[in-house]
Amino acid sequence: MAAVPMLLKVALPSIPVVNQLPGVRKAPVDGFTGLARTRPPITVERDAVEAYARVCGFPIKDVAPLPYAHLLVFEQQMAIMSDPAFPAPAIGTVHLENSITQHRPIAVGETLDVVASVGAPLPHAKGRVYEFRTEVRAGGELVWEELSAYLRRGRGDDGASYGTVFPDAPATGVRWQLPADLGRRYAAVSGDANPIHLYPLTAKALGFKRQIAHGMWTMARCVAALENRLPDAVKVDVAFKRPVLLPGTVAFGCTPVDQGFAFGLSSPSGTPHLAGRTTAL
């Protein structure tokens, strides 16, 4: 699915009147039990891996960076979100948390089978959470898994306690200067061309002061900073706290914890953007 048709399809349920048309109108949330999508087997191409590595700060290797397989499932996630049977419009749905389990590195040239699914929504104080799960297999072997949690704001449950608690990881003096075109560069390698990441005008139309960095880029950049200290089998969990405005400066911090590292990304003044941790398997 090309980027422009995909964006149009996910945007239609957010347009008044249009969102009531057959084939666009969303199903009610009550009774929704889940959806799944598969894609034809896909081969990991060196050019694509190296382009991603350069944008996210990873070294060039014969294996894909740990978060790379997220790109292989992005189109399936968008297909699920744009399906009329899925209750929530994609536009305005917030990426809350992400968890990747790498059982072993994925080699350049490997052919993979990718399955994406989502179940019934979970309660949250500010609405409902949809957990998208991904399984990536090579020759039948499970090599990579992901859980992406998305919040649809609305009537919430004050008693809900959804959310991961992470150890503190104060900034250590490492700062990254992020250019204004970072969102466009990441969109070019990831396929995620959400307007909030591209230009000031398109971001302002959706309620932001100016364009913001992709959450999955911030996760990838932090993992790249730790890459040479992580084992082949590892779990990486993150929570996205505040958007990173582009251009901008962010401060990175990490500290050893049991079986891995706690890490974080913040503004120079200390406003948190991302919290995470790694766990050796």
Residue 90 lies in a domain: yes
Rounded Cα gap, residues 191 and 238, in angstroms: 21
Region 146-165: mean pLDDT is 92
Residue with the bigger pLDDT between 18 and 84: it is 84
pLDDT reported for residue 29: 82
CA angle 49, 137, 59 (to 5 degrees): 25
Q: Report in angstroms the alpha-carbon separations of 30 from 26, 85, 88, 92, 186.
A: 12, 11, 12, 20, 36
pLDDT reported for residue 103: 98
64 pLDDT more than 80:
yes
Residue 134 lies in a domain: yes
Residue 88 lies in a domain: yes
DSSP 219-277: HHHHHHHHGGGS-SSEEEEEEE-S--BSSEEEEEEEEEETTEEEEEEE-TT--EEEEEE
**Per-residue pLDDT reduced to its tens digit, 17-57:** 445 554 556 667 888 999 999 999 999 999 999 999 999 99
**Per-residue pLDDT reduced to its tens digit, 176-192:** 999 999 999 999 999 99
**Per-residue pLDDT reduced to its tens digit, 242-255:** 999 999 999 999 99
User: Are the CB atoms for 249 and 264 separated by under 8 Å?
Assistant: no
Which contiguous run of DSSP H or E holds residue 123?
A: strand 122-124
CATH number of the CATH domain containing 205: 3.10.129.10
Residue 18 lies in a domain: no
13 pLDDT more than 70:
no
Q: How does the average pLDDT of the chain come out, rounded?
A: 92
Across the strands, what pairs with 255? 262
Predicted structure pTM score: 0.91
**Per-residue pLDDT reduced to its tens digit, 110-139:** 999 999 999 999 999 999 999 999 999 999
Residue 87 lies in a domain: yes
Containing structural domain, residue 85: 3-7+32-280
Q: Tell me which amino acid residue 225 is.
A: A
pLDDT reported for residue 92: 84
pLDDT reported for residue 10: 60
Angle, in degrees to the nearest 10, between helices 46-56 and 182-190: 160
Query: What's the pLDDT band for 2 if we cut at 50, 70, 90?
Result: very low
Residue with the bigger pLDDT between 22 and 217: it is 217
Tell me how many domains the chain contains.
1
Residue 12 lies in a domain: no
Rounded Cα gap, residues 168 and 272, in angstroms: 11
Per mean pLDDT, which range of 44-53, 79-88, 99-108 is the poorest? Answer: 79-88
Identify the three-state secondary structure at position 55: helix
pLDDT reported for residue 161: 86
For the beta carbon of residue 1, count every other beta carbon within 10 angstroms: 13
Rounded Cα gap, residues 233 and 217, in angstroms: 21
5 pLDDT more than 70:
no
Residue 113 lies in a domain: yes
Residue 256 lies in a domain: yes
Q: Tell me which amino acid residue 265 is.
A: L
Rounded Cα gap, residues 134 and 145, in angstroms: 5
Nearest one of 103, 164, 90 to 135, comparing CA atoms:
103
